[in-house]
Amino acid sequence: MTEHTATSTPVNHYESAAAWRAVDDYFVSELVPEDQALVSARGSGVHTTMPNAEVAANQGALLGLVAQMTGARRVLEFGTLAGYSTIWLARAVGPEGRVVTFELEEQNAAVARANLERAGVSDRVDVCVGPAAHSAQDLVDAETEPFDLVFIDADKPSNPAYLDAALRLTTSGAIIIIDNVVRDGAVISPDTADPRVDGVRSVTRMISENPELDATAIQTVGTKGWDGFILARRR
């Protein structure tokens, strides 16, 4: 038996969710080790209304890298939860940057504020409590300075409304990222009545029909299972 055959890939092993997690663990430990503030923020997810919905560490790092690659100074986030992704984004924009993050539940906002404080970024983050569509309208009405990057990661049925708001709060060159668009493949299931899947499909159609938006969607596997995100840019 050649060495190559002896070490050839056992395909099923590498298709398992346990293997996806192990590979995430490997790259996260090598490239994206969480500091104490991020570890605490992730752990505090159990005190929110949606435990374990934070992005994975490597996905948080991707958000930060996209913010840095595009020179984003103003970031808008739909869905704060424990503030885990908020920390990545706030660190990426730097001390002169600003993150505005929308959270429906005061309970979650309180958890997030403590995490942002611990991470040393609370001075550059506004946590706005209430329905995100209302908070967004308030910013539109106040003629807030446009945002450079928008991360949409809140209640999925509202994705179309949040994209609409994002388009009112950005201009040419802005980046829009939408989380959880694959949902274990449910996005293409013919017989789903899940309003979260409807929210994904509707927002996907909105993007496809908007000539101002260049976009792609990337599937991911890892500690969060099988999911993915849409990455869009305003022309």
Residues near ligand DHB (CB under 6 A) are 53, 153, 156, 179-180, 196
Q: Minimum CB separation from Mg ion for residue 179, in Å? A: 4
Q: Minimum CB separation from ligand DHB for residue 203, in Å? A: 14
Q: Which residue is nearest to Mg ion (CB)?
A: 179
Residue 148 binds which entry of ligand DHB, Mg ion, none, CB below 5-8 Å type-dependent: none
Q: Minimum CB separation from Mg ion for residue 157, in Å? A: 14
Comparing CB distances to Mg ion, the nearer of 52 and 216 is 52
Q: Minimum CB separation from Mg ion for residue 50, in Å? A: 9
Binding residues for Mg ion, per CB under 5 A? 153, 179-180
**Measured distance CA(157)–CA(209) in Å, rounded:** 19
Comparing CB distances to ligand DHB, the nearer of 53 and 217 is 53
Those residues with Cβ within 8 angstroms of residue 110's Cβ, 6 or more apart along the chain or in another chain: none
Residue 156 binds which entry of ligand DHB, Mg ion, none, CB below 5-8 Å type-dependent: ligand DHB
